[in-house]
Structure 1
Amino acid sequence: MSGDNPAPYLDGIPPDTLRKVQQYLKPFQLSKEKLKEVSARLYKDMLLGLERDPPYDAAVKMLPTFVRATPDRTDRGDFLALDLGGTNLRVIHVRVVEGNPQVLYSESTTITTEIKEGTGEALFDLIAACLGDFLVSRDLNGQTLPLGFTFSFPCEQREIDESILIRWTKGFKCSGVEGRDVVQLLKEAIRRRGDYDIHSVAMVNDTVGTMMSCGYDQRCEIGMIIGTGTNACYMEEIKNMKRVAGEDGQMCINTEWGGFGDDGSLKDIQTEFDVEVDKTSDNRGVHIFEKMISGMYLGEIVRLLLVRLAEDKLLFKGRTSEALRTPFTFETKFISEIEEQDSGLVNTLRILTDLGLEWESVDCAIVRLVCETISSRSANLCAAALATIANRIRTNRGLDHLETTVGVDGTVYREHPKFSMRLQETVCLLAPLCDITFHVTEEASGKGAAMVAAVAQRLAAEPAGQ
């Protein structure tokens, strides 16, 4: 669990230098026993989150999504999907055939700063206008299709079609939206237009969409994102959820596992560099787990380490550059490029040169070692969290052995050359009684939103009590 086996490139680092560098890297190298401890702590926090009502003071919030089933082969039809998560609004036409969603067409509109900082009415009028234009362009205006809405902001979901915005993030500051039902605001904007209608709206978290987009796999009951941020969801027994009392069956839980450690439970594995990243962040003291493993922060952890090693004259002959001393100039994608099997050295030389650094071959080897150490810790911690969920599902069902599938998305998982392999190897060690298959999803937000709408439509059509 301390990273990959010793690599040949390490032979180019003088033994005394390597020993000193390893002293800085050792706190990032977590043993199997320590990862088991982390998993046990997350399991405890998940139980606390399930018991809290309301959940806001829980580190791992375990939010009900009101998605009560996964897709099956009977789900079919045409659906619309909206995806609002940052700089763009996407409108998507999805066709579901025997539980398999296919994107037929999509259009994207940039959300300007003026809209982000304007009124909520202006934002939802724009959404309604984009949806209306899409219906006309696709000759769908005469149809009344169910709509899945991926709205990637912190919300309190009260039903599948009722989601209250808690607070804006990602630069949005639209007035008159926080504390209100997003579905109602969308319906009001559509009514103001008066030229089309929608059948129903199902609200979707992006992690839930990732899971639901794998509807063709009947075993898919976990969704995971490891990209700029990180989160996971899974199917939990409703009887274990205090906030949804008196129901049978299952419901998808949005764990919000990025907040793991916000209560101090990860202090013993936080390094001084993790503490510095948190201290200088816009949301100090929250999303501690996310800051240790996600793409938004991995490059910055590496940068801080490189600066320290240079200050201690273990890198670049003790010299840095203005670029290296500037926060977030070492991008997380650089880690992936440096760890490429064939082009890693060439990429390393280019990146260090672009950062204004004077390097020798030993510097390139040390930089690669730092990158591998940080990305390996990320994969191992992510694996510990995923193993916790898999073990939870197995325990819930009283199974000796669980076979399950994870729908996964995110740039770190998809683009890093070794991340997925490291994660899967560690999961096998931490959840040995679980056989886990991974499906990397594409167009997850659109497909997943459509599948949530499809499942909601199917369940609504079933006789009561079935």
Structure 2
Amino acid sequence: MSNMVANGNNSEPISKKSKMSGDTSTLHLEGIPPDTLSKVQKYLDGFHLSVEKLQEVSARLLKEMIRGLGKHTHHRAPVKMLPTFVRATPDGTEKGDFLALDLGGTNFRVLHVRVMEEEQRMLKMDSQICAIPKEMMLGTGEQLFDHIAACLGDFLDSQGLKEQTLPLGFTFSFPCEQKEIDKSILIRWTKGFNCSGVEGEDVVKLLREAIHRRGDYDIGSVAMVNDTVGTMMSCGYRDQSCEIGMIIGTGTNACYMEEMKNVKRVEGVDGRMCINTEWGGFGDDGSLKDILTEFDLVVDKTSINTGVHTFEKMISGMYLGEIVRLLLVKLTEDKLLFEGQMSQTLLTPESFETKFISEIEEPDRGLENAQNILTKLGLKWDPVDACVVRLACDVVSSRSACLCAAALATMANRIRVNRGLDHLKTTVGVDGTVFRKHPNFSEELQATVRRLAPECDITFLVSEDGSGKGAAMVTAVAQRLAESRLLEDSDSDGEEED
């Protein structure tokens, strides 16, 4: 990381902990001759984002968020801002036994979670993983939900819970339009699923019907949960100031607590609601085209969903390795790496895995890891090549952290302004392999957020099983609010009688 960052007309000295995107450490510059470095930097310039540019990105995202919240503008907004019908974060009084069902791929999980108010603890009592056979992923919706209901029944049997009617948190990781906390319409299948009779239907209703067909157990209230919301809620039980959830892994997304009066698509103006931003779509209308590099354009063009998820493709784990690979191919073509000699493996799309970036950027063994990886890729390298590759990895991951920070700063500033506060103290619940595994990512993300949201004091808390415990916590909070409303209603009835 360099000691200077472009900041207006001045170059402001900054510490290693507060570099902006594209600034590279002197550690990563060592071993590269000055003439080679100046030639390489020309290819890296497009990844450099100044403080001003990141502030611009943040302002553009805010504009898109407001569009997404609007009653008449949301259907055209690339940032979808989906209402989740989660109306509160945990307050620590939640208690009871809950089930969680997590369906998002070829396996699904069933969990039994116990929330204990006295000890402020949430315990995963037990869980079970059930496979979904390939033919069932392409069969009828009835077969799929019958299979889920059967596995849920087996689990309840094994736990001795079949006689109880427990509330259930349902993480269903497919594109859905949520109508209520217990009503979610599947828009389209993804991830290799194509079960008939489910698209356009309420998945909670389909699950309940499958359980009723069995007739040997029942479930209580159901809360539909997005994995980002689960992340926020699982952290929210440990830290009640957690009002933002963020995932930076294979994909990326975030949610936050918005004032109801600004959520124009839903009736009511009182209180707050968690909004699932779906920020991966930021830029799908061309609003980020000035910061897209030639490598980003190739990644988009060769992806299975060309033209969508622009922001996600610049920052998430599914794409970072491919951006680096394309950059290395270009540098090799121009004889700045490997004496211009390419390997067939390097020319193969997705051969440079995102985990390689984390390994190459390790402080102690990074260069050694780089050399091993380059050998594995069939390349003839010298020590300078390894240093250049490390520099390329640093620049790409740095841009990812800084763009993510710009988006997070937008959200924190939004909450602060919404509440008319001079200073906001809040917590972000976070999950995802990029945040967890990359050696510098979280540090850089946090340093950049401090620069872009100076009036916000933000704590980061890594989620413990957001899609499991978090789903149960959404259900627990929904139950607490429902009980509170019942109490208020009975009190008001009593007053009327008086």
TM-score class normalised by the smaller sequence: over 0.9
| Cα distance in structure 1, aligned partners of 2:198 and 2:297 | 34
Secondary structure at the aligned position of 1:108 is classed as: strand
What are the superposed Cα offsets for residues 403-462 of structure 1, whole Å, 9 maximum, x if unpaired? 000000000000001000000000000000000000001211101100010011111111
Secondary structure at the aligned position of 1:118 is classed as: coil
Please name the residue that 1:221 is paired with. 243
> Contact 1:278/1:284 (CA < 8 Å) preserved in 2?
yes
Please name the residue that 2:42 is paired with. 23
> Contact 2:67/2:77 (CA < 8 Å) preserved in 1?
yes
Please name the residue that 2:478 is paired with. 456
Structure 1 residues 53 and 118 mapped into 2: Cα distance closer, same or farther (>3 Å)? Answer: farther
> Contact 1:72/1:216 (CA < 8 Å) preserved in 2?
no
> Contact 1:52/1:58 (CA < 8 Å) preserved in 2?
no
Give me the TM-score of the superposition, normalised by structure 1: 0.98
Aligned residues: 466
2:60 to 32, 38, 41: 41
1:338 to 356, 360, 371: 360
Secondary structure at the aligned position of 1:67 is classed as: coil
1:386 aligns with 2:408: yes
| Cα distance in structure 1, aligned partners of 2:464 and 2:188 | 28
1:8 to 12, 27, 31: 27
| Cα distance in structure 1, aligned partners of 2:74 and 2:114 | 36
1:202 aligns with 2:216: no
Structure 1 residues 52 and 278 mapped into 2: Cα distance closer, same or farther (>3 Å)? Answer: farther
Q: Give the Å deviation of 1:328.
A: 0.6
1:305 aligns with 2:337: no
Please name the residue that 1:321 is paired with. 343
1:107 aligns with 2:145: no
Q: Give the Å deviation of 1:112.
A: 2.5
Q: Give the Å deviation of 1:244.
A: 1.0
1:82 to 79, 90, 101: 101
1:426 aligns with 2:448: yes
Secondary structure at the aligned position of 1:463 is classed as: helix
| Cα distance in structure 2, aligned partners of 1:73 and 1:8 | 46
> Contact 2:22/2:47 (CA < 8 Å) preserved in 1?
no
Q: Which amino acid aligns with 2:338?
A: F
Secondary structure at the aligned position of 1:82 is classed as: strand
Q: Give the Å deviation of 1:9.
A: 4.5
Please, which runs of 5 or more residues in structure 1 have no aligned partner?
none
Query: 1:30-429 alignment to 2 at 5 Å?
Result: 30-53=49-72, 55-98=74-117, 100-214=121-235, 215-429=237-451
Structure 1 residues 2 and 251 mapped into 2: Cα distance closer, same or farther (>3 Å)? Answer: closer
| Cα distance in structure 1, aligned partners of 2:177 and 2:73 | 10
Q: Give the Å deviation of 1:5.
A: 4.8
| Cα distance in structure 2, aligned partners of 1:399 and 1:55 | 27
Give me the TM-score of the superposition, normalised by structure 2: 0.92
| Cα distance in structure 2, aligned partners of 1:391 and 1:7 | 33
Identical amino acids, percent of aligned pairs = 73
Structure 1 residues 53 and 77 mapped into 2: Cα distance closer, same or farther (>3 Å)? Answer: farther
Please, which runs of 5 or more residues in structure 2 have no aligned partner?
1-19, 490-498
Q: Is 90-99 or 265-274 further displaced after alignment? A: 90-99
| Cα distance in structure 2, aligned partners of 1:64 and 1:424 | 27
